[in-house]
Amino acid sequence: MRFRFAYASHPDWSVAVEECALLLQRYAGDERYVRNANLGFLYLTDALVDHAEQILATLKLRTGIPNWVGASGVGICATGVEFYEEPAIAVMLASFAPGTFNVFSGAQRPPTLGTRTDAGADAAFTALVHADPHSPDLPELLVDMGNKVASGYLFGGISNGRSKAVQIADRVLSGGLSGVVFSSDVRLVSRVSQGVHRLPGATRHKVTRATNNLIVELDGRRAFDVLLEDAGIRERPALQVSANGGAREDFTKVRQQLQSLGRQGLFVGIEPVAGPGYRERTPREDYVVRHVVALDPAKGVVAIAAQVDEEQTVSFCTRDEAAARKDLIRICAEIRDHLHEHGEKSGVPAEAKGAVYVTCLARGSHMFGEANEELGLIQRQLGNVPLVGFYANGEIGGQNLYGFTGVLTVFY
């Protein structure tokens, strides 16, 4: 049976909650939707974040569910619709077998690795994770959390807001990580959709010389020269001879072409180190994306918004709407195929019960051209699957912190 879900937008938090409560109640008599829900998902925009405790308390009272997870963002997601920079909430009520999920936070520890459920499954297998944007050493925290679940796979995102950001883990809180750990009995499939693609002429390169965030050499060549080649820029700097007979390179024409490319966005895709179980959930080639923040043509150096290490594999990337659409359709197709294959193996049709979608602040109408188009595309691909989520300040997939991506997780 499908999860119950609802969403509402209203400047008065109590009215928004009441609208959601009434919608959730309408599902109670529909045999296609779960009745005895025991876990609630709550996402709210930052316009209502000051009322988060009242919203959560009211939902607990109206539904009778004590366990809740969620986060705040400048935008939130629901089936076929987005709410961006306006007061709104999205709620989903799920039903899982007792003992197959555990809400965690700094005040609530998840089951230790190796713990078994009464049915003999791994009690800590995977986790939905929400993170505070101000947490120090966040990448290290994610790796540590990933090592606490048997699959090594996490999904979720970083909460955000103009004034403040909150997380929900049975109560409203901030700081560190929180969320819910699922046992291996909980069936889910998760995919990451990139919002960028390699430059038309780009290939994978090994970093052969780097310092902090500076890529000096790729494949033993100057990084800047490799970038020009991958971008299809054949223009080379002209030599200018000064009055005293000296000469220097003039990068004016090269710079103009790079600026044209930069208006689309110029990035470096860094291939992550895959943890245990990661490849089964993200079978395609994968990379995390970071901005190119500066270029030094004279020294041949490319500076990016992250530390890079020698021996890592990178690619130069850009972004556009067509590529983002194509890749989002791709992950939806992979999820459909996964459900079909599971149904054939088990002999029982696999139905999508509900979904959580965490997407980047830079996506939505900014990338897809129109409001609701990103969520509408998912709806057209997967049908009217109950879905909630938010626009994150960084997306979590595996043990990696992404940017410009959408992380779609479907329970079945």
Instruction: Express each pLDDT in 366-380 by its tens digit.
Output: 899 999 999 999 999
Do 85 and 222 belong to one domain? no
Identify the CA nearest to 226 among candidates 189, 194, 185, 198: 198
Reply yes or no on whether the pLDDT at 237 is more than 70. no
User: Residue with structure tokens 């459909």?
Assistant: 336
Residue 292, domain extent: 197-318
Note the pLDDT tens digit of each residue in 21-68: 999 998 878 889 998 999 999 999 999 999 999 999 999 999 999 999
pLDDT at 163: 86
Is it the case that residue 217 has pLDDT exceeding 70? Answer: yes
**pLDDT tier for residue 239 given thresholds of 50, 70 and 90:** very low
- In terms of domains, do 213 and 302 share one? yes
Number of domains in the chain: 2
Q: What is the pLDDT of residue 283?
A: 46
Structure tokens belonging to residue 206: 């090994």
Task: Tell me, yes or no, whether 249 and 184 share the same domain.
Answer: no
- 277, 296, 318 - which closes a domain: 318
Of 257, 292, 318, at which residue does a domain stop?
Answer: 318
Query: Are 113 and 149 in contact, with CB atoms under 8 Å apart?
Result: yes
Instruction: Output the pLDDT for position 196.
Output: 86
Same domain, 398 and 304: no
Percent of the chain topping pLDDT 90: 77
Same domain, 353 and 311: no
Tell me, yes or no, whether 244 and 314 share the same domain.
yes
Binning pLDDT at 50, 70 and 90, where does residue 263 land? Answer: confident
Domain co-membership, 327 together with 298 = no
Instruction: State yes or no: pLDDT of 323 exceeds 60.
Output: yes
pTM of the model: 0.89
Tell me, yes or no, whether 375 and 403 share the same domain: yes
> Are residues 186 and 244 both part of a single domain?
no
Name residue 116's beta-bridge partners.
Answer: 122
Are 94 and 239 part of one and the same domain?
Answer: no
| pLDDT given for residue 224 in this prediction | 94
Higher pLDDT, 209 or 243: 209
Residues 181 and 49 grouped into a single domain:
yes
Domain co-membership, 206 together with 285: yes
